[in-house]
Structure 1
Amino acid sequence: MKVSGKIIVVTGAGSGMGRELTIQLVKKGARVAMVDIHPEALEQTAELAGRDKVSLHVVNITDRATVELLPEQVKSIHGNVDGLINNAGIIQPFVDVKDLDYAVIERVMNVNFYGTLYMTKAFLPDLLKRPEAHIANVSSMGGFIPFPGQTFYSASKAAVKILTEGLYSELKGTNVGVTVIHPGAVNTNIMKNSVLNSPASVASSKGAQKILSAEKAATIMIDGIEQNKFRVLVGKDATMLDILYRFNPKMAVDLIVKKMKNMVR
């Protein structure tokens, strides 16, 4: 689906990839309904993207009742919606399963999986009425390979992966295209927005020069949507780990464990 002239909803639009997605979609001729829980961040994105091309929606995507009201709110401003990019997500503190509090686990699953599910179910009936439409859900390379200390983040993103692939199978032959996106390391505010402050998260900044920019990641994502790709890998790390995991899952996981241990030394 070409994005020019389309109305597209983007979650997590206040910062990082969501902000870059909004800016680039507007540059390509789309109008964007920006969804985020942080009003100040939405205001900043609106200034960068162009206020006449966007609308601001302060929404907690884990609140199903609020999400279910969103389609009519967006349509009242823009008209019919043509696309949905479920980008919003959080990571967990770098804590092992045995030590992680249930409240944190539930928050990660609620934002990453249920938020994506609620948004998808809310907008899908209207998308099916459009001449052409698209749903793109952002999983992660953690959605196909686990990282120690991020088990529930990976589990939530694996759920997004299967949800999206299941949607593809159900919607094949309809007017709605479906894409699952697996970003690798991208320079965003996900740690800050996830309320993290751990040695491992600080250590990860040592490799910041190797991290893909949010601008480049957004370009790859939009290109994948316009080409109606089934699956989009964002970054050399995601591509390399995908190949390795397919070849030898145990070897891939062992490599990740070794790399993570070296990061926190």
Structure 2
Amino acid sequence: MSQIKDSIFIVTGAASGIGRALAIQAADAGARVIATDVNEIGLNETINQATGTIEGYILDVSDAEQIKTFAAETIKKHFHERFILVNNAGVALFSGSFLETSLTDFEWLLNINLWGVVRMTKAFLRHLVKQNQGHIVNVSSIYGITGMPENSAYSTAKFAVKGFSDVLKFELLRTNVKISTVHPGGIKTNITRNSRVGQHRNNEEGKKAMAKFERIALKTSPEKAAAIILDGIAKDKPRILIGNDARTMDMIARVFPNAYHKVLAKMLKL
């Protein structure tokens, strides 16, 4: 973990789930962790659970001005250090089909899951390029490999994160700045509890949809996911798949590029 030790390790969405596990494990590996989240209570819990040192910072990745301020302060304080930035913050939306999803809900999710990644990357990348060192890790999803029904906004954001990251990999080939894209499968996190129920749905419908999603899809622990991500960072892997479900979906999408929707529909009994 020499890539991680003594680095300035910034992780968004660190109040729970993968973000919390990453912050704790990176600190244990010797990184100087800056954990950010909009949830102050959860962020303090992350800090208190760590044996290593973690600095907390309240940050809303949907707020461009907050990001600019955070980046300016952090770069000034750690100007000559090696940065690892993990864009992990995200939310879920249980809104039904695309026809049932309001544009307000769609835009809300994109502002966090996509624009949060873009804004954070924009705020730090120029400094990393000037220093000719660093690593940016963008968390996409299994839904950034294959589109799934009733996840139009989420899949749109996660496919866009993958595409954005792929472009950066090309543009930064002649530098020592590394880019990794993470595609987790179902992770046992609180993302569903931090989600929004679509405007057309009542709370009872939303709760049922969340419960079904948690029961069927969430398989891998955040701690295992974080360990896989840190190993990928240490090895400069451009692409990190987490879970058998992610590997299976990836294989199906590559083997059956024109028919994977039908294959998945049969597998999932849709």
Deviation at 1:70, TM superposition (A): 0.8
Give the share of equivalent positions with the same residue, in percent: 34
**Matching residue of 1:199:** 208
Q: Cα 1:237–1:183, aligned 2, differ >3 Å: closer, same or farther? A: same
**Matching residue of 1:63:** 63
Q: TM-score, normalised by structure 2?
A: 0.90
Q: Does 1:16 align with 2:17?
A: yes
Q: Cα 1:205–1:112, aligned 2, differ >3 Å: closer, same or farther? A: closer
Q: Distance in 2 between matches of 1:195 and 1:170?
A: 35
**Matching residue of 2:73:** 73
Give runs of aligned pairs for residues 1-265 of structure 1, distance below 5 A: 2-50=3-51, 53-75=53-75, 80=81, 82-130=83-131, 132-196=133-197, 197-207=206-216, 211-258=219-266
Amino acid in structure 1 at the alignment position of 2:62: T
Q: Deviations over 1:141-172 (max 9, x none)?
A: 10110110001100110000000111111011
Deviation at 1:129, TM superposition (A): 3.3
Root-mean-square deviation (CA), in Å? 1.9
Task: Give the conservation status (yes or no) of the 8 Å contact 1:75–1:81.
Answer: no
Deviation at 1:24, TM superposition (A): 0.6
**Matching residue of 2:201:** none
Q: Distance in 2 between matches of 1:189 and 1:261?
A: 26
Q: Between Structure 1 and Structure 2, how many residues are aligned?
A: 260
Q: Could you say which structure has the higher helix fraction?
A: 1
**Unaligned runs of at least 5 residues, structure 1:** none
Q: TM-score, normalised by structure 1?
A: 0.92
Amino acid in structure 1 at the alignment position of 2:111: N
Match of 2:192, SS state, is: helix
**Unaligned runs of at least 5 residues, structure 2:** 198-205
Deviation at 1:207, TM superposition (A): 3.4
